[in-house]
Structure 1
C-alpha cells in the first residue's frame, strides 16, 4: 500500500513482512468504515486519558510532596511507553493490529482503577505507599500507551499513500477530541457536588474523592473502547512471512541507520522534550499564576482540544495536499517555539485592564487563549507532518515497527523532559517553557534546510 521514498529501508528486518496490497484485494472489507472504527476506538481511549489530566497535579499535591513528583510521575508513564511502543508496533506486525489494541486497552482499564485507590493507600500505609501506587499505575498505563503505534500502522495498512496524511490527521484529531471531552468530563467529575453524590452511592470500600471518580471513569472509557473494538474493529488482511527477530536495541539501530528515518526519529525526541514543559507544568502554572482549580483548568484544556481537533482533522489535511510535509513540520516547530516562549508571560499581559464582555474575560486570559491557539496549530502541524514522513520513509513490511520506534523516541523525550521541566519550574516558573522553545529552534532550522 505504500510507495517508500527512494533509498528508504525497512527498519523491521526481523519482523514479518507485510505484502503490498495496492492493486489487489483491499486490506479490509470497507476501508472507510474501518478507518472510522479505529479512530473511534482511539477517541474513546483518549477521552479516558483526558479525564485524569486536570486532576493529576492536584492529586500529587494532595500528598504534600514536591512538584518534582509531577514530573517524575509523568516520566514513569513515558519511560514505560518508550520501552513498550517498539515491541507493540512489531507485535502488531506479527500478530495483528486488532489483538494488540484490544489487549492494551483492557490492561489500561486495570491501571486506571489502581490509580483511583492511591488515597486509600495513603490512609492505610502512608505517603510512600500512595506514591508507589501512583507510580505503579502510571507505569502500567504507560506500557499500554504504546498502542498508538499499532493504531497508526492500522491506518497506514488501509489507506493509499496519497490519502495517508489526511487519515493520520484524523487520528491526531481523535486525540484532540479526546482532550475536548476528557478534561471537561474530568473537571466536572471532580466537582464537590458530584463527589458528594458518589460518596452516598459508592460501597464503603470504593473511595469517592475528586481524584478517584475521574480515575474510575477513565477505566470505564477504556473498557468501552475494548467493547467497541471487539465488536466492530476488523483486522487488516496482510501477507506475512516469517523473519528473524530483531532486538529492542536493534530496532532503534536500524531506524537511526536509515537516512530518511534518522532525522524524523530525532525530531520526535526533541519535540517531546521541548513540549514536556506544557504537558507537565501547564496546570500548575495556571493554578499558581491564575488561581485556577481543576475544573477551570479542565475548560482550558477543552479549549485547546477543540482547536486541535479542527487543526488536525481539517486544516492540516488540506494543507498537506499542497504543501510538502517537511515544510509543514518546519512551520509547526517554529510556531510551537514562539508559543512556548510567550506562554509564561501571558499572566502579566493587560492585568487590571478591562477588555469588555464578562468580568472573567481578563487581559491575561485573552493573552493565554491566543498563545494556546498558536501552540495548538504548531503542535498539529508537527505531529501530523512527522507521522506522514514516517509512513513514507519505510516499506509496507515495517509500518508497525517504524511507528513503534518513532513513538518510542517521543516517549523517551517525555521520559527525559518532565523531570527536567518540573525541577526547572520549582526554580523559576518561566524556565521550562523558555527552555522548550530554545530546543525547538534547531528542529525548525533542520527541516527548513532539508526543504531547500
Structure 2
C-alpha cells in the first residue's frame, strides 16, 4: 500500500551543482556515528582526535538496506490491492469493486497520516542518535505490516488498519538512508552518489534495481499462490534486513508541524520549490495509489499483467533522471549557478502533466502504456526539486530537511489516497457523473499545472533578485 514511495525514493537528496565549494581544509559535518567511523577509516581510534583529512566511510550498507526495503515494497505493491478485495468482497473474489477501492484508500490514508506525523521526528532523531537504530526500526515495522496484512481473513478490516498504523509509525528508511549517503559523500560526488546525475548509484541500485526484481516476481507469485504469499516473503526479507542492520552494518525539530515550517517558513525560492513539490507529491498519487485498481477496472489486468508494467515504470524512473538532468541545457549560469535543475523542474512538470492527461484520456492499453512512459520521463522533476530544496536550505539541516520532505510526502499521500480512491470509485460506478473513468488522472494533471506556475514564478523572482543584487554590488562597494 506504499507504492507512492516509488517516485519519492528515486529522488536524490542533494546536488553538488548548487552547493557552494567548501573552504580549503574544511571537513563536512557528519553525524556522531559517521565521525567515529571516519576516524577508524583514517586509522585512528574511537574516542581520539578526528584526523584533519576527511575520509568518508562507505555507504554501501545503507544502499543494501534500502534495496531490501524496496524489494519488499515491490512485492507488497503488486498484491495488496488483491488482498483487500479478497477481504471485502462477499463472494471472496479478487474482482475490483467500489467498496474495495474505497477501503484501500481509507486504509492508505491512515498510513500516510501517521507517517506524516512521525517521519520528521524519526529523521531528525537520526541526526542525533545515528542512522542505524532508525533503519532497523523501519525494517521491523514493515515486516510486521506485511505479516498482519497476510494474516487478515475475510472481514478482517480492523487488521488492515492495524497493519497500516504500524507501517505509518515506522516509515523512515528512505530519508534516513538518503541522509546517510549525503552525509558520507564529499561535495564533489554527492549528486552522483544520490542519483541526480548520470553516475548516480542510490537511485539506480537501491530503488530501480529492487523494483526490477520485485514487480515481476510479485506478480507471478501472486497469480500462482495468491496475494498472501508474496506479503509473507516481503516480511521475511525485512526480518533479514533488520538482522543485517543490527549485526553487520557499520553505519558510521522533531514534529510534523516544525518539519513543514522548515519548508514553508522561509521566503524566496525555497518556499516556492517546497509548494511546487507539495503539488507534485499530491499529483503523483493519481498514478501510484490507484494504478492496480484502475488497470483492473479499465483493462481487466491481473497481477501477472500489472507486474511487468510496473517494472517498466520503475526502470524509467531509475534511468530517466540520470540521463536527462545532465542534458537539459548548457552549463552557463542564467538563473541559478547550474540551470539544469531549473530546466529539469520546469520541463519535467510539463511532461508529467501531459503524461497524466494522456493516461486519463486513453481508451486502450497501448495508449495508456505510452502515457506511462511519458509520465516516467516527466518524473525527472522530482529529484530535481529535492536536490534544489536540499542545497538552498541552511547548512547542517540535511537530515531534518529530508525528514520534512518525507512528512510532506506522507501528508499529501494521505490526502491523495482518499481523494483519488473516491474519484476513481465515483467515475467507475454504474452511474458515473461523467463518462471519464480516468478522471483522477486529470485531477493530478491540474495539480502539476499549479506546480509549474509556482516553480516558474519562484525561478523568475530568484533571477530578478540575483540581478538586482549583482547590480547593487559594485555601487555598494564604492560607497564603503
CA distances 1:295-330 after superposition (whole Å, capped 9, x unpaired): 211111111112222224554466599543232112
For residues 399 and 42 of structure 1, what CA distance do their matches in structure 2 show?
18
Q: Which residue of 2 aligns with 1:340?
A: 356
Equivalent position of 1:167 in the other structure: 193
Aligned: 1:264 with 2:273: yes
Find the counterpart in structure 2 of residue 84 from structure 1.
118
**Is 1:138 matched up with 2:164?**
yes
421-430 or 173-182: which moved more?
173-182
Question: For residue 118 of structure 1, what is the aligned residue in structure 2?
Answer: 152
1:220 deviates by 1.6
Give 3-state SS (helix, strand or coil) of 2:149's partner: helix
Of 263-272 and 276-285, deviating more is 263-272
Question: Is contact 2:118-2:255 (8 Å) kept?
Answer: no
Q: Indicate yes or no: 2:178 matched with 1:152.
A: yes
Partner of 2:228: 212
Q: Which secondary structure state, in structure 2, belongs to the residue aligned with residue 397 of structure 1?
A: coil
What is the CA distance between 1:5 and its match in structure 2?
6.7
Distance 1:309 1:248, change over 3 A: closer
TM-score, length basis structure 2: 0.74
CA separation in 2, counterparts of 1:282 and 1:374?
A: 15
Separation in structure 1 between the aligned mates of residue 62 and residue 329 of structure 2, nearest angstrom: 22
Please name the residue that 2:447 is paired with. 439
Q: What SS is found at the alignment partner of 1:252? A: helix
Question: 2: distance between equivalents of 1:385 and 1:321?
Answer: 16
The one-character-per-residue Cα deviations of 1:342-391 (angstroms, maximum 9, x if unpaired) are 00222x2xxxxxxxxxxxxxxx3332222111111111x12211221232
Alpha-carbon shift at residue 153 of structure 1 (Å): 1.1
Equivalent residue for 1:28? Answer: 56
- The 3 A distance-change label for structure 1 pair 27 and 157 is farther
Distance change (3 Å), C-alpha of 1:343 and 1:308 = same
**Structure 1 stretches of 4+ moved >6 Å:** 1-6
* 1:52 counterpart (76, 82, 104): 76
**Residues 51-70 of structure 1: matches in 2 within 5 Å?**
51-62=75-86, 63-64=88-89, 65-70=99-104
SS at match of 1:292: coil
Residue 426 of structure 2 is aligned to residue 427 of structure 1 = yes
Which residue, 286, 301, 306 being the options, matches 1:297?
306
Cα-to-partner distance string for 1:145-200 (whole Å, 9 max, x where unaligned): 223221121122012334323322243333233322222121121123xx2xxxxx
Which position in structure 2 is the counterpart of 1:375? 375
What's the offset of the Cα at 1:425?
Answer: 0.8
SS of 1:190's partner is helix
* SS at structure 1 position matched to 2:113: helix
Relative to structure 1, is the Cα distance of residues 145 and 246 closer, same or farther in structure 2, using a 3 angstrom cutoff?
closer
Paired residue secondary structure (2:317)? helix
Shift in Å, 1:56: 1.9
SS of corresponding position for 1:341: helix
Equivalent position to 2:213, from 181, 189, 210: 181
State the distance in 2 between where 1:396 and 1:87 align. 19
Which range is displaced more, 392-401 or 270-279?
A: 392-401
Q: CA–CA distance in 2 between the matches of 1:390 and 1:23?
A: 31
Distance 1:109 1:246 in 2: 25
Partner of 2:131: 97
* Residue 414 (structure 1) aligns with: 413
Q: Is 1:37 matched up with 2:61?
A: yes
Q: Which moved more, 1:306-315 or 1:50-59?
A: 306-315
C-alpha distance in 1 between matches for 2:388 and 2:366: 35
The answer on whether the counterparts of 1:283 and 1:297 sit within 8 Å (CA) in structure 2 is yes
Does the 8 A contact of 1:277 with 1:436 survive in 2?
Answer: yes
Q: Does 1:448 align with 2:456?
A: yes
Unaligned 5+ segments in structure 2 are 1-13, 21-30, 39-49, 90-98, 196-200, 332-338, 428-436, 461-480
Aligned partner of 2:297 in structure 1 is 288
Q: How many residue pairs were aligned?
A: 390
Highest relative contact order (Cα 8 Å, sep 6+), 1 or 2? 1
SS at match of 1:233: coil
Seen in structure 2, the aligned counterparts of structure 1 residues 24 and 101 have a Cα distance that, compared at 3 Å, is farther
Distance 1:412 1:46 in 2: 20
Paired with 1:281 and 1:248, the residues of 2 have a C-alpha distance of 26
- 8 A Cα contact 1:52 1:183, kept in partner: no
What secondary structure does 2:384 align onto? helix
